[in-house]
Amino acid sequence: MYTELRSPNVHEPKTVGEYSDTVINYKGNINSLWAGGTFIMSRKDFYPSPTTNVEIINLKDIEELYRLQRNDRYAEIGSMVSLNDIAQLGKNIFPKTIISAIEHTACRMLRERISIGGTLCTQGFTSSVASVLVLLDTAVELIIPKRRNYARKWLHASRLYDKNGRLTLNTNYKNALVSKLRIAIQNFDFEYFNTSGDPMLEPEASVSLATVAKLDQNGIANARIIITFPSRGFVYNRDIDNMLGSLQLPADDIRCKEVEKFILAFIRDNIGKITPIQEARLKGMMNDMIMTLNQHILTL
């Protein structure tokens, strides 16, 4: 039987201005940006398909999106820069958490293709790299297409998502393009990153946890924690940070259990019931994180 298949139109803008023109002129039709292509290509029925992706904008020719710049305080990274290049550039200057999150993402070959912009902006999938960038107060520059022009706007990476870590970029800024990120060069006394399960193949079993903190003789001076569930979003909240910050170190089993209970109740109330395997893995990570904190405080 003959089934009609329509090839997608592929647009290849050379500048962000051309990107903006394309989006404005094809209003309503364009439904896919192509960065590294790794997520799009792995979707069921992506191509060829008569119903999906009839207009694609490939970002590969926009030179501005590959730029890298750094000074003493931060590095600015174009959204088409690959995860591998960021790990290489940042190995000695960025917090270890982001390097670990990148190194735990897929295999090296894929990391060479996966762009940092695609990592932040994948609908329905939250990468642990994206949540670590939120944790590190990364700023993101958006290109917002306008008739005959476009606007640039900087915002905190968390504003790409709702309070439960689900991408809302296109709801708040229609057709906006992430053009660059600003990652601060900063030091923490304590950093922890752990991930379990394959986020692509078994998103309902996978979970990751990242923590950064400043420590002093009295214990934790400033702690931040983010927990990622690939198919649901992330959990990042001041109440959890405060709970961890008020922990007397070294913490015993009873205090560990209290923190665990508080965080699991928060997750249930905000993003809903997680799977038993996610819960078991998360408990293990929280316990390991607090034990590592204990060791750190004892060596201060």
Write out the residues near ligand FAD by the rule CB under 6 A: 32-40, 42, 79, 105-106, 110, 113-115, 117-119, 121-123, 127-129, 177-178, 199-200
User: Whole-number minimum distance, CB 66 to ligand FAD, in Å?
Assistant: 12
Q: How far apart are CA 51 and CA 44, in angstroms?
A: 12
| Closer Cβ to ligand FAD, 39 or 229, answer by number | 39
At which residue do the structure tokens 């191509």 appear?
47
C-beta of 154 vs 252, nearer to ligand FAD: 154
Nearest to 21 by CA among 117, 143, 150: 150
Work out how close the CB of 249 gets to ligand FAD at its nearest, in angstroms, rounded to a whole number.
31
Comparing CA positions, the residue from 68, 74, 77 lying closest to residue 93 is 74
- Shortest Cβ distance from residue 248 to ligand FAD (Å)? 34
Q: How far is the CB of 208 from ligand FAD (least distance, A)?
A: 8
Q: Which residue is nearest to ligand FAD (CB)?
A: 118
Q: Is the peptide bond before 48 cis (omega within 30 degrees of 0)?
A: yes
Residue 242 CA from chain centroid, whole number:
23
For ligand FAD, the closer CB: 143 or 289: 143
Minimum Å gap between C-beta 33 and ligand FAD is 3
Residue 23 contacts residue 150 (beta carbons within 8 Å) = no
Residue 113 vs 257, nearer CB to ligand FAD: 113
Cβ-based nearer residue to ligand FAD, 42 or 186? 42
Please report how close the Cβ of residue 105 comes to ligand FAD at its closest, in angstroms. 4
Could you tell me the smallest distance in angstroms from the CB atom of residue 118 to ligand FAD?
Answer: 2
Q: Which of 38/275 has CB closer to ligand FAD? A: 38
Q: In terms of CB distance, is 170 or 187 closer to ligand FAD?
A: 170
